[in-house]
Chain A
Amino acid sequence: MKNRIIQLAVLSALIGSVPVWAGQNITVHVKGMVCDFCARGLTKSFNAFREKAVLEDFQVDLSKHTVHLNVKEGASLSDAEITTVVEGSSLAVDKIDR
């Protein structure tokens, strides 16, 4: 039993030390995004980030007024870049959750 506990502890430590390779998820809370037509600018700009291999994927959620960004492994997207995209559509960033 004692050996089993030690084995589990070692296994847990190993798992815990494995780097997380999955891309980072970011949730952007957007003010003023009340319709799909208003969100077209965001869609176009975030599509450009996907084509540049910065984003794996993204989803616009109108009911929650959010945009979910899945950043590609090894890539990064700063708050300033996200804010530039949102303000380029004349919308406003409420907050960014990482």
Chain B
Amino acid sequence: MLKYTWVLAIGLLLGMSQAHAHPVSFKGGWSLMAFNQADMLDWQWLYTVHPKLSLGVEFVRDAMAPQERQFLIPRVSWLVHRWNETDSQANIYVYGGVGAARMGDLVEPAVEAAVESDYETRSLYFSGKAQVIAARNFNTLAMYQLRAGFAPYVGESNELHSWLVAQAQYLPFAPQQSVRVGPVLRMFYKNVLWELGVSTQGNWNFNFMVHW
């Protein structure tokens, strides 16, 4: 319990957390995103070539299984639709690519497919994501995630924005703790966003994102 308190305290010191991990940002915009857990990380470097399309590369490390796996996938992300309203925004994204998977000395082609959706106002946030990475001789890596969050205060431009988010993840092929539920503290300031969370099972996660 003490270590969770410590982790949350660091989060509070850092400021607070994120909300808007959009795989397509703005035309000509670069995005660097890093989603980290103790047994899994997902790093993405993306360039938005069109308001609805980004190109980039994704690196995934899966240490959940007894033998670690790594995936390197050139990726295309597509903003299928955005609903822009005066007080809200909603999005549907799909993304995927073909790359390589590595486990020990074994290297073979891998395919990724994912769909992501979110709805947000200035004080509420909901999102869902389903992501699958498959390779012929590897167990399929899949992750499903739901999030709901709120902003305890509404920040203005160039101020620190803070969100409290409840997160649930389902990792069907994780040998342990395939369901992970817990709070995430998300903060962003200008073009930098970071999140710190911990699940009830004790898994921590730290996410970082920057757009420029």
Contacts and interface: CB of A to CB of B under 8 A. Distances in A.
Interface of A: 31-42, 44-45, 59-63, 65, 87-92, 94
A88 B191 contact: no
B85 A32 contact: yes
Nearest to A30: B84
Interface string B67-87: 000000000000100111111
Nearest to A42: B26
Contact of B87 (A34, A37, A89, A91): A34
A39 B27 CA distance: 12
A18 B121 CA distance: 46
Contact of A62 (B28, B79, B82, B157): B157
Closest 10 CB pairs of A and B: A41-B26, A32-B84, A88-B27, A89-B26, A92-B84, A31-B84, A60-B157, A32-B89, A90-B51, A37-B20
Contacts of A90: 24, 26, 51-52, 79, 82, 84
Nearest to B83: A32
Contacts, number: 89
Interface of B is mostly: loop
30 contacts: A32-B83, A32-B88, A33-B89, A34-B121, A34-B122, A35-B122, A35-B161, A35-B188, A36-B155, A36-B157, A36-B188, A37-B193, A37-B211, A38-B89, A40-B25, A40-B26, A40-B191, A41-B25, A44-B29, A61-B157, A62-B156, A63-B154, A63-B156, A65-B86, A65-B87, A89-B26, A89-B51, A90-B26, A90-B52, A94-B86
B29 A41 contact: yes
Contact of B20 (A35, A87, A91): A35
Contacts of B87: 34, 65
Contacts of A38: 20, 89
Given A65-B86, A88-B51, A90-B79, A36 B26 contact: no
A40 B48 CA distance: 13
Interface in B142-189: 154-159, 161, 188
Contacts of B42: none
A83 to B, nearest CB: 12
B25 A36 contact: no
A61 B155 CA distance: 11
Nearest to A41: B26
A14 B157 CA distance: 42
Given A40-B211, A90-B24, 14 more contacts: A34-B89, A34-B121, A35-B19, A36-B157, A37-B19, A38-B89, A40-B191, A41-B25, A42-B26, A44-B28, A88-B26, A89-B27, A90-B82, A92-B84
